[in-house]
Amino acid sequence: MLATTSPAEPRVSSHKTRPFSLIGFNRPIKSVVESWSGLSVGLAQGFLGSFMETMRVALLCILMLACGFRVGADGRDRRYKEGDRVPLYANKVGPFHNPSETYRFYDLPFCSPDHVTEKKEALGEVLNGDRLVDAPYELNFREEKRSKSLCKKSLSKKDVGKLRDAVSKDYYFQMYYDDLPLWGFLGRIKKDKPDSSKSKYLLFKHIHFEILYNGDRVIEINVQADPNLSVDITDDKEINVEFSYSVSWKKTEVPFEKRMEKYSKSSFLPHHLEIHWFSIVNSCVTVLLLTGFLATILMRVLKNDFNKYSHDEESIEDQEETGWKYLNGDVFRFPKNKSLFSSIIGSGTQLLALTIFIFLLALVGVFYPYNRGALFTALVVIYALTSGIAGYTATSFYMQLEGTNWVRNLLLTGCLFCGPLFLTFCFLNTVAIVYSATAALPFGTILVILLIWALVTSPLLVLGGVAGKNSQTEFHAPCRTTKHPREIPQLPCLPWRITSGGGGKAIELFFSAGLLSVLCGGSTGIFIFFYCIYYYQARSDMSGFMQTSFFFGYMTCICYGFFLMLGTVGFRASLLFNSSPKSCKVV
């Protein structure tokens, strides 16, 4: 029934110790609400005392989250005696080339136990689309089986059609044995040599489990299908199939602590995670060279201005304004859309902090290759905890720009990224429900996410906004801004302006601390989206409405997040760059 596997994406090695579990999963709703409420109250008190103190509390919570993941991943000691039952769970099936299009294991007419029990899962696992159920195989510790009959099943024409369609789309299955992953195909397509246009669809009906152990622990598991024991499902007709399996055990010297190293270096699914070091080094060298050229040119211009203005300081006011002096009255002019501009800076700062925290957690070893759902859980929790950064940054900057309606600015900040993400999620979740895919989130999970947003994200956003409003900070420009803006001629929209991004777009800085600097840095997100289109058309084999919707839907949100984050970096870089020369006597 199933097929040959190789090690793949491993999973988290704990079922009992699970931080941030869900309604109907591991913890009751009351405990979830109380835990989030307590966290919200604690952080609120920190905000009332000092906003920076709250940031330290948030960092502490993130470190506690990391410790929780480490405990959940390493704390359980799996030891078995001969004949003990080792947990085996079936997860999902789906097309090999469509990673987002996965279905429940028993949606296909497989052999199933008398009572199918669903395993309770944590937040990140549900967001990852995992739906674990009891598998029909019995793989007791160190019990070998030559050929064990699993079940005799009568497949109707409809069942045969389902399985044939699955084989034609290269469906794979996923299981977990003692938290070790199993992946493989359901069958294969055999083409006749005389007439290659005719194909036979074969369904594997026997699989062999090869399990390696060290003492009283399971170290590795491999599964292979016997191509000689298969059934032809090419024609639409009822057939009777007897599915079977066999088990063999072998001793190994690999210690339990290193059993996941094999799975972290190989994968059944095509992840394309190889690092292109040559391209990275080439891009870095290009950026450094362009930055050096730009710095050399600007330093020469500035040196000439220094010499010119310091040559005769007494008559400097009678000279015609050139160079930096010609621009100094317009560089720090406030943008027209103050609220939108401040919201972009606030949301971008939050996403930048989120990215930094995720990288830090990855560096300390929180996100193991087999730790299912840990990344999704961390994204949800850290985004909620860092919402105060967005509120504080947006509101304080809005007040520096002499804004008056800070409440409207705060609401815009809260909806700037979450709004498009929520609309995208609603559409994609509806598509997943129509397809009956595992990507469709259950109501309990959606309710928990809403509780996190209501009890943590929103209060921290408001408290951050209040702290930013009361920060009493002022924008100190190094030079005076003229009352009337200087007229700047419009540049023609030439094709080279559209295609000139390339490797040097990150070092181009507008001499205006406004939306143009945000667009300059944020344009990287646009280029990433263009590459997504190229990747979908030329590099991947994805197909179907659901997979296409999920790919472009979530990649659009990711590129939009890059636009906000890198746009903020571009503005900060422009502000820092423009403030340095204009603080001199030249201006």
Q: For residue 310, is it left (φ>0), alpha (ψ between -120 and 50) or beta?
A: alpha
Whole-number pLDDT of residue 350: 96
Split at pLDDT 50, 70, 90, the class of 117 is confident
Whole-number pLDDT of residue 301: 74
Distance set, CA 258 to CA 80, 217, 248, 369, 421 (Å)? 18, 12, 22, 13, 39
Split at pLDDT 50, 70, 90, the class of 211 is very high
Distance set, CA 495 to CA 39, 151, 395, 519, 522 (Å)? 53, 66, 38, 18, 19
CA separation for the pair 306, 342 (Å, rounded): 34
Do the Cβ atoms of 377 and 20 come closer than 8 Å? yes
Q: Residue 531 pLDDT > 90, yes or no? A: yes
Other C-beta atoms lying within 10 Å of the C-beta of residue 123 = 25
Share of the chain above pLDDT 90, in %: 42
Q: Residue 490 pLDDT > 60, yes or no? A: yes
Whole-number pLDDT of residue 23: 29
Q: Residue 50 pLDDT > 90, yes or no? A: no
Q: Residue 5 pLDDT > 50, yes or no? A: no
Q: Residue 123 pLDDT > 70, yes or no? A: yes
Q: What is the phi/psi pair of residue 355, to 5°?
A: -65, -40
CA separation for the pair 182, 209 (Å, rounded): 10
**Residue that wins the pLDDT comparison between 18 and 278:** 278
pLDDT, tens only, 152-179: 999 999 999 999 999 999 999 999 999 8
Rg (CA), the chain: 30
Mean pLDDT of 554-560: 96
**Residue that wins the pLDDT comparison between 1 and 238:** 238
Q: What is the mean pLDDT of the chain?
A: 77
**84: amino acid identity, one letter:** D
Whole-number pLDDT of residue 545: 95
Whole-number pLDDT of residue 455: 93
Whole-number pLDDT of residue 576: 77
Pairing of strands 239-251, 206-214: parallel
| Tokens representing residue 166 in the block | 């699955």
39 pairs with which residues across the strands?
none
Closest CA to 392 of 311, 471, 335, 508: 471
pLDDT, tens only, 397-427: 898 887 888 999 999 999 999 999 999 999 9
Residue reference for tokens 């000139």: 500
Do the Cβ atoms of 508 and 291 come closer than 8 Å? no
**Residue that wins the pLDDT comparison between 233 and 272:** 233
Q: Sketch the domain layout of the chain as residue ranges.
A: 88-264
Whole-number pLDDT of residue 328: 56
Whole-number pLDDT of residue 306: 62
**Residue that wins the pLDDT comparison between 12 and 38:** 38
Instruction: Name the DSSP letter for residue 448.
Output: H
Mean pLDDT of 192-203: 75
Mean pLDDT of 195-204: 80
Q: Residue 9 pLDDT > 60, yes or no? A: no
Whole-number pLDDT of residue 124: 86
Q: Residue 235 pLDDT > 60, yes or no? A: yes
Q: What is the phi/psi pair of residue 487, to 5°?
A: -75, 125
**Residue that wins the pLDDT comparison between 484 and 94:** 94
CA separation for the pair 78, 352 (Å, rounded): 39
Lowest mean pLDDT among 7-16, 21-30, 176-185: 21-30
Lowest mean pLDDT among 3-7, 356-360, 415-419: 3-7
176 pairs with which residues across the strands?
89, 181
Whole-number pLDDT of residue 485: 60
Split at pLDDT 50, 70, 90, the class of 311 is low
Other C-beta atoms lying within 10 Å of the C-beta of residue 481 = 13
Q: Residue 20 pLDDT > 60, yes or no? A: no
Q: Residue 258 pLDDT > 60, yes or no? A: yes
Split at pLDDT 50, 70, 90, the class of 442 is very high
| Tokens representing residue 319 in the block | 């000279």
Share of the chain above pLDDT 70, in %: 68
Q: Residue 579 pLDDT > 80, yes or no? A: no
Split at pLDDT 50, 70, 90, the class of 14 is very low
Q: Residue 321 pLDDT > 60, yes or no? A: no
